[in-house]
């Protein structure tokens, strides 16, 4: 019992956590003796009441274990090795930044590591709940300690030392003991104070902000529910099979069903928990956040404010509570304070006001534009079709409405319009398209090919289903370029992969997301299980899973591929290959691809827009590679000012290209960005240079090879190609 007694005597002066510490020591002694925390008598003075599993949860656990073992695509048994992985994943979920538990705690919990698997098979949830209760008590201790530090006054903190703090602690060693955790938390508080001071916040306001942050987190730790522990534990367990397999509690199931029906009035963003933060996973095309334009994928939300009210700090909140706070009546405004995805540290934040609304199908619709390219006296007219998502109005379809909306129907109409306007080629823009209706991806491929297979789907029994385009008609047989990026996923990858395999067009951009799996939601006695049941394969046999689609011609991206993409997720299913299915090869680009890449690189080397993109990528990469930040006020201020100067320099260089006046300060830049975002009807006259480059690649294709012109160009354009 010496360790438990030592852990009870962490502070030399009275602490807010003294009663909680006693309860924690009791918990540790119970864990060491093998006795159940939930069944033990807890000190009546303790604030935190340990949560215990229910019979319904135990039954749901048994059902989940069976479904994972026998119906998931991945053949994975519940073994001792898996038990250890579940233990690690569970701790990562509960204390991902390793700021609450010490190595002493980990050593005490270690004996549970080998027995979680066998317990999960039979619905014995107690080991997982004991771990959860200990972590909650440690969270309370840490927050109480932080409040004590703040009570002592911010002027007691020394910002003239050479101290540093690690930015990401997810792979750091556990701190050895509580004393070391105290030192770490003082650094964390100093870092939070510095971040706000650099943003011009006064110390009294900083103190108030931090107090509200920690008290809010403390309140939620006290209010821990059995369902919180069960959902966290089941997700750590289910995540061993793949990152898209997860458990939905009854309340989470309700939110999931609302989101799937698109009836939710909110901001149109998909969120997930990321340690203490709520992170933006993706924006719903046509939704309020996407139209507003400032919120980005991988941004972390730190506060939420309703109209006319003070911001509520949501660091440490449960995901469902953050969602409830963001959700609200149509036409009302919610203001989010976020740490941008490309921020060097927590001192860089921005405030984004978004008007809530319902996501409307028509605002996700495909759209077209025409650009003209002047090349050595020749003018090329290029049609551009942007597809935000693969959609279909299922209700109208089932009701027999002959004019129901869908991606394929809309794109067919747009292609007809472009052909009538005499375009020389078409660029299909699928960047940031996260997927959608599978049959729409199949039908869309059919607009560009004769009859043939479009995608293969293999289930856990190795049965392969082949989806085909049965319609021999072709809506467009001219030159085609497909633009993709890291956020192009699922149905987008099926379309791009099929176009590439058929040799029907060139894929240009950056490696796609790599989401090549299919999930089904299955009801349980308590909640739902979303489980991966099959996998997509291209007609050439390669999976779109993990690897995604590799473009024929690559364009660098600002997206951090180490954080976004299937290959950045734990336990993602691997890439593999099955037999190809017979399909037509319309054109072999191998004879021209080297020259196409050479011309593309020459254009980009001379392009000021690309030069700016490279500068921005280099700047963002350096920020992401920073593993520590200084806690010295002067050093931190100098670094902060350097970041601001770089942002302003890049923004003004871009304005110079447009012939616009430069911004004098970063505040002026941010005010302009806010005004642009608030004006949803404003348009940027400058064409996206990546789209323009797609048009140039199409023109290169026409110029390089007459075979390309005769095979890929419609008959009505052949005369123009021959004249060249």
Q: Provide the annotated active-site residues.
A: 490, 501, 515
Angle made by CA atoms 690, 693, 696, in degrees to the nearest 5: 160
Tell me the C-alpha distance between 585 and 504, whole Å.
Answer: 7
Residue 407 DSSP SS3: helix
| The two structure tokens encoding residue 409 | 């129907």
Tell me the C-alpha distance between 649 and 660, whole Å.
Answer: 14
* Alpha carbon separation from 308 to 212, 268, 303, 323 (Å, rounded): 18, 22, 14, 19
Tell me the C-alpha distance between 537 and 580, whole Å.
Answer: 9
Angle made by CA atoms 404, 409, 411, in degrees to the nearest 5: 140
Which neighbouring-strand residues pair with 279?
A: 272, 300
Alpha helices per DSSP H over 451-607: 491-501, 593-605
Which residues, at least 6 apart from 549, have a Cβ–Cβ distance to it below 8 Å? 484, 488, 493, 496, 497, 500, 507, 511, 512
The separation between CA 625 and the C-alpha centre of its own chain, rounded to angstroms, equals: 19
Secondary structure of 598-659 as H, E, C letters:
HHHHHHHHCCHHHHHHHHHHHHHHHHHHCCEEECCHHHHHHHHHHHHHHHHHHHHHHHHHCC
Query: Taking Cα atoms as reference points, which of 297, 544, 588 lies closest to residue 441?
Result: 544
Q: Which runs of E-coded beta strand occur in 216-289?
A: 246-248, 265-266, 269-274, 277-283
Which residues, at least 6 apart from 519, have a Cβ–Cβ distance to it below 8 Å? 244, 245, 530, 531, 532, 533
Tell me the C-alpha distance between 719 and 714, whole Å.
Answer: 10
| The two structure tokens encoding residue 553 | 């011609």
Q: What is the CA radius of gyration of the chain?
A: 28
Tell me the C-alpha distance between 311 and 295, whole Å.
Answer: 17
């Amino acid at each position: 019992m010496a360790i438990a007694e030592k852990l009870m005597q962490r502070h030399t002066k009275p602490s807010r956590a003294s009663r909680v510490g006693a309860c924690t020591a009791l918990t540790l002694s119970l864990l060491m003796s093998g006795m159940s925390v939930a069944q033990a008598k807890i000190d009546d003075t303790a604030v935190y009441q340990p949560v215990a599993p229910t019979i319904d949860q135990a039954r749901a656990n048994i059902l989940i274990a069976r479904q994972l073992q026998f119906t998931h695509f991945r053949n994975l048994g519940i073994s001792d090795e898996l038990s250890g992985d579940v233990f690690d994943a569970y701790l990562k979920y509960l204390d991902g930044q390793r700021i609450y538990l010490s190595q002493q705690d980990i050593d005490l919990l270690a004996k549970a590591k080998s027995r979680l698997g066998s317990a999960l098979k039979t619905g014995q949830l107690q080991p997982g709940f004991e771990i959860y209760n200990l972590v909650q008590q440690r969270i309370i201790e840490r927050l109480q300690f932080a409040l004590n530090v703040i009570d002592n006054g911010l002027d007691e903190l020394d910002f003239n030392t050479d101290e540093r703090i690690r930015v990401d602690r997810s792979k750091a060693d556990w701190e050895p003991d509580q004393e070391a955790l105290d030192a770490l938390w003082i650094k964390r508080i100093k870092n939070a104070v510095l971040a706000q001071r650099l943003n011009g916040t006064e110390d009294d306001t900083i103190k108030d902000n931090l107090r509200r942050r920690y008290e809010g987190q403390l309140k939620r730790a006290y209010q821990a529910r059995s369902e919180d522990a069960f959902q966290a534990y089941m997700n750590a367990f289910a995540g061993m099979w793949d990152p898209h397999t997860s458990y939905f509690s009854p309340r989470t199931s309700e939110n999931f069903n609302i989101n799937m029906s698109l009836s939710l009035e909110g901001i149109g963003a998909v969120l997930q928990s990321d340690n203490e933060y709520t992170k933006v996973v993706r924006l719903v095309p046509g939704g309020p956040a996407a139209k507003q334009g400032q919120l980005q994928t991988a941004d972390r939300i730190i506060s939420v404010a309703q109209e006319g009210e003070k911001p509520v700090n949501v660091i440490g909140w449960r995901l469902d509570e953050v969602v409830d706070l963001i959700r609200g009546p149509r036409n009302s405004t919610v203001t989010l304070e976020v740490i941008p995805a490309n921020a060097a540290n927590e001192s860089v934040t921005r405030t984004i006001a978004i008007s809530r609304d319902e996501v409307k199908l028509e605002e996700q619709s495909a759209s077209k534009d025409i650009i003209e390219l002047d090349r050595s006296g020749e003018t090329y007219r290029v049609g551009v079709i942007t597809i935000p998502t693969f959609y279909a109005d299922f209700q109208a379809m089932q009701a027999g409405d002959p004019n129901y909306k869908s991606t394929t129907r809309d794109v067919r109409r747009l292609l007809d319009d472009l052909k009538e306007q005499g375009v020389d080629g078409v660029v299909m823009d699928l960047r940031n398209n996260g997927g959608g209706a599978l049959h729409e991806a199949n039908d869309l491929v059919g607009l560009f090919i004769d009859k043939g297979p479009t995608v293969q789907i293999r289930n856990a029994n190795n049965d392969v289903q082949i989806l085909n385009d049965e319609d021999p008609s072709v809506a467009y047989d001219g030159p085609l370029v497909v633009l993709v990026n890291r956020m192009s996923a699922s149905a987008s990858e099926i379309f791009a992969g099929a176009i590439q395999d058929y040799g029907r067009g060139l894929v240009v951009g950056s490696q796609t997301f790599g989401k090549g799996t299919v999930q089904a939601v299955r009801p349980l006695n308590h909640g739902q299980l979303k489980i991966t049941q099959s996998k997509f394969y291209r007609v050439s046999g390669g999976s779109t899973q993990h690897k995604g689609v590799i473009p024929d011609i690559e364009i660098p991206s600002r997206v951090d591929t180490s954080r976004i993409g299937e290959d950045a997720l734990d336990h993602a299913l691997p890439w593999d290959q099955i037999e190809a299915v017979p399909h037509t090869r319309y054109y072999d680009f191998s004879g021209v691809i080297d020259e196409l890449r050479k011309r593309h690189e020459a254009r980009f080397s001379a392009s000021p827009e690309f030069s700016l993109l490279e500068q921005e990528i280099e700047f963002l990469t350096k920020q992401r590679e920073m593993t520590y930040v200084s806690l010295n006020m002067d050093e931190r201020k100098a670094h902060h000012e350097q970041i601001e100067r770089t942002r302003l320099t890049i923004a003004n260089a871009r304005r110079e290209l447009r012939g616009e006046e430069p911004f004098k300060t970063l505040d002026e830049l941010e005010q302009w960005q806010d005004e642009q975002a608030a004006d949803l009807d404003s348009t940027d006259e400058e064409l996206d240079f990546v789209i323009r480059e797609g048009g140039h690649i199409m023109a290169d294709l026409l110029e390089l090879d007459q075979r390309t012109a005769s095979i890929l160009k419609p008959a009505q354009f052949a005369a123009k190609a021959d004249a060249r």
